[in-house]
Amino acid sequence: MIHVWLGACLRSTHWNVGGTKQARALLTQADQGTVLALWHRSLTLAPALWFWARAIEPRVKLRVLISRNADGRLIADAIRPWGIIGIHGSTSRKGKDKGGAAALRVALRELKQGAFVAITPDGPRGPAEEVQPGILVLSRISRRPIIPLGMACNSIRLPSWDGLTFPLPFGRGSVVVGEPLLEPDTETLRVALNAVAKQAEANVRNQNLSVMDRLWGGVGSLLAPALTIMLRVRLKRGRELPDRLRERMGLGGGHRPKGTLLWIHAASVGETLCARPLLDDLLEKRPDLHVLFTTATVTGAEIVSRHPEFGRRVSHRFIPHDVPRWFGRFLKRWQPDGAVFVESELWPGIIAACYRKAIPVVLVNGRLSDRSARRWKKAASLTGRMFSRLSWVAARGPEDAAHFRSLGTKAVYEDGDLKQDAPPLSCDFAELERLQAVIGNRPVFVAASTHPGEEELVLAAATLARKKQPDLLTILIPRHPKRGEELASRFDLPRRSVGQEPNNKAHGWIADTLGELGLFYRLATCCFLGNSLAGKGGGHNPFEPLRLGVPTATGPLMENWREAVNLLHDYLHIVKDIDSLSQWITEPHVTPSPAVLQRSVVSRLSPRILETLER
């Protein structure tokens, strides 16, 4: 009955085996001869580790040191059908021989023959979590390392001296494999065993779905039909690709490549460009690494598709919506070894699903504004676990880092803004030369990524500036190119998207195309960054124009870029209204040095990501 119950419970439990790759690999190597240590309360869970190891390497052999009393013989009989052989004996006490010496000789012989020998250092009668000398003697004489194991699962604790774990079926389980210890002392082994045991128990607590996890998943499932309709609407508007719509539901083709697979997710164009230097560095450092890159937008997918390794070591998929069934399909198909999210892409259901499958999730270039932090805190009862489940966060600076820590993230680094590592924006240099000939020697003021309500202010400032510079040409680049037709009609200006160009009399030009920001920055005498002078604001990337040596101004509403504004205070000019902007346009500018803006954030992130993959 014990055999049947343990088999049913342990095989129906969803187990995750954690620890470094090197430590886990030791448990699947036949003929190594290694000592395994676990507390006595976890003895009933040991077969689960055996099932996992035998599935990978059928030749491994496991022996378990068990006392030779009636209870020990009962346990040995229960586990013997699985090929786990008991070695009977325990440490002698009060001069009474309990077969310890004979068991030691058998264990040494089995180690020499390459078997694993599992021992509970505090068994068979305790005291609980106190290391007895037998395991230390075995390690010293055999000169074999001891691997500490922590094991836990959904279970009840029996009222025995050690609180023996009694597993329950259809639950979650965790095995944490510690680093090998060669001939450790008593205290070193005790501390190591307690550490892995606590980690395993914490993993099970976090893997179990809380009420809020179930609520979030239930809401996602209820919204699935509405999300399907929304996808069809987006398809009609040209914001989805018809042959790839199924990817949003976790379906679609593609096969997981062999070897290590890192999943990188970036929402759209800005985040994808931000992640590009990191992607390149990771591929260079690990020639065997494959990357699955997901985006939420078609424009982001286009950027990924232009990578030189696309179709070989880099593949792309659209990220599924946060619906349990949809995202479950995605994870089942791709089984990534680790996940990297860029900036502020945080979805509680997705992170919970990764955590339950022991997929480490890290956030790079972590961005969390005051407003966003307040919103997350208000929803803490629903999303509180999410931040604690992140393996680590690389925040852009101290303010973002403080927000992540306040929300429960355990490991937070302040590595700086990843956008500092981005290469200069690309440009069609033949087109640049042609437009320079069209414009001639006119001064060019570029207003980039403008939002509704800002174009009026920018053009009013440009009108004032033309009193000092009559031939000033203003190029308006709306954040959303679809607004180009409406802006051109309202202000009576030519549009680039329909082939119109500014003549000598035109004072402005609407640049309503995608992917040409680098071209217009190179035409600029000076530029202004939108989403910073009207409305809610938030700002846009100041590194892009400054990296090209373009004098740059912005409004005061730069909440999303506060760290960058502090860093760039010597190069970035802040204007408050129409008058200050018009005055800045016409005054002499100091050209920033692009070299000063370079800071290698990637060099700190890549090693840490690769180290996380190896854990």
Catalytic (active-site) positions: 271
User: Using CB atoms within 10 A of its CB, is residue 550 exposed (0-12), middle (13-18) or buried (19+)?
Assistant: buried
**Torsion angle, alpha carbons of 543, 545, 549, 551, to 10:** -110
First-to-last alpha carbon distance for the chain, in angstroms, is 37
User: Using CB atoms within 10 A of its CB, is residue 278 exposed (0-12), middle (13-18) or buried (19+)?
Assistant: buried
Reduced to 3 states, what is the DSSP secondary structure of residue 96? strand
**Torsion angle, alpha carbons of 566, 571, 572, 574, to 10:** 100
For residues 183 and 139, the answer to whether their CB atoms sit within 8 Å is yes
Number of helical (H) and strand (E) elements in the chain, helices listed first: 23, 22
Q: In what order do the strands lie in the sheet with 62-66?
A: 14-18, 172-177, 146-153, 34-37, 116-119, 62-66, 84-88
**3-state SS, one letter per residue, for 440-475:** CCCCEEEEEEECCCHHHHHHHHHHHHCCCCCCCEEE
User: Using CB atoms within 10 A of its CB, is residue 365 exposed (0-12), middle (13-18) or buried (19+)?
Assistant: buried
598 contact partners, CB below 8 Å, separation of at least 6: 420, 421
The DSSP symbol for 121 reads T
Q: What is the DSSP string of 183-234?
A: S--HHHHHHHHHHHHHHHHHHHHHHSPPHHHHHHHHHHHHHHHHHHHHHHHH
CB contact burial 509-541 (16+ within 10 A = b; e otherwise): bbbbeeebbbbbbbbbbbbbbbbbbbeebebbb
Q: How many residues does the chain have?
A: 615
401 contact partners, CB below 8 Å, separation of at least 6: 366, 393, 395, 412, 413, 414
Sign of the torsion formed by the C-alpha atoms of 550, 555, 560 and 562 = positive
